[in-house]
Structure 1
Amino acid sequence: MTTPTRRGTAGRVGNVALWGLQIVLAGFFLMSALGKFGNAEPAASTFAAIGWGDWFRNLTGALEVAGAVGLLVPRLAGVAGLAFVGLTACAALVEAFVSGGGVFMPLAVLVLCAVIAWGRRDGTARLWAALSRR
């Protein structure tokens, strides 16, 4: 029997921590999507202020559901994290310039999504390599 190396143990702990973060953020984005589909506040007034109508609110909710599922699929987790970085960056811009609200929450979620994207970058590279083979 071999004793786990320091790096091996740290890798397992990091992997478990990333999975925990992915599960929490998947739940967060699912709840956010439910608010959008239910036309609850503040989603309703925010999307009304943007002026793109209900279709954009529903599209955003659908993207959040798809991304939440992606966070729970090992092969897609890094891509989902990267996609959520873009989505939450847009949310921060909307909060800052359209809603006039605080940007702390979307920026905090952006950082957490970036941690997932970075932590799962090897899986993203493997997925890209598999998709780009012809």
Structure 2
Amino acid sequence: MTSPPGKPILYLAWSLQLMAAAIFLMAGWKKLTGDAQMAEVFATIGLGQWFRYLTGGLEVVGAIALLWPRRIALGGAVLTVVMVGAVIAHLTVLGGSPLLAIVLLVACLMITAMRRDTLPAR
């Protein structure tokens, strides 16, 4: 297990975690509740609406993990995978700017790196 980060890093990490958790809770909720825009986006992706539910579920679970001190890095890792998929979807199918997805991807990577001390010990 690695040593915990210093206070400035911890404050930065918690700030990123809170912002990311709020964003992913809202985005995941929209996917899970059948928001028309989200249904249209996932229809365009072409993997079926089950993929919208899976993505929304991962976003909500990942967001909750960002607020759970013993699972922060795990939540960041899950959300990193989701955002890699979002960037790929923007670049290959959806079009438009992937900038927001890239910013969230970087935030998730930073959270995972800064809070790696919360990963379960082997």
**Superposition TM-score, scaled by structure 1 size:** 0.81
**Percent identical across equivalent pairs?**
36
Opposite residue 64 of structure 1, the aligned amino acid is E
1:13-28 correspondence to structure 2 within 5 Å:
13-28=8-23
1:117 aligns with 2:115: no
Q: Which runs of 5+ in 1 are unaligned?
A: 1-9, 130-134
**Superposition TM-score, scaled by structure 2 size:** 0.89
1:4-35 Cα distance to aligned partner (Å, 9 max, x none): xxxxxx81121122112101100000110122
State the alpha-carbon separation in 2 of the partners of residues 32 and 20 from structure 1. Answer: 18
Number of aligned residue pairs: give it.
Answer: 118
1:70 aligns with 2:65: yes
**Residue number in structure 1 paired with 2:44:** 49
Indicate if the aligned counterparts of 2:58 and 2:79 stay in contact, CA closer than 8 A: no
1:38 corresponds, among 29, 33, 41, to: 33
RMSD across aligned positions (CA): 1.5
Give the superposition deviation at 1:39: 2.7
State the alpha-carbon separation in 1 of the partners of residues 96 and 121 from structure 2. Answer: 37
**Residue number in structure 2 paired with 1:7:** none
Q: Which runs of 5+ in 2 are unaligned?
A: none
Higher relative contact order (CA 8 A, sep 6+): 2
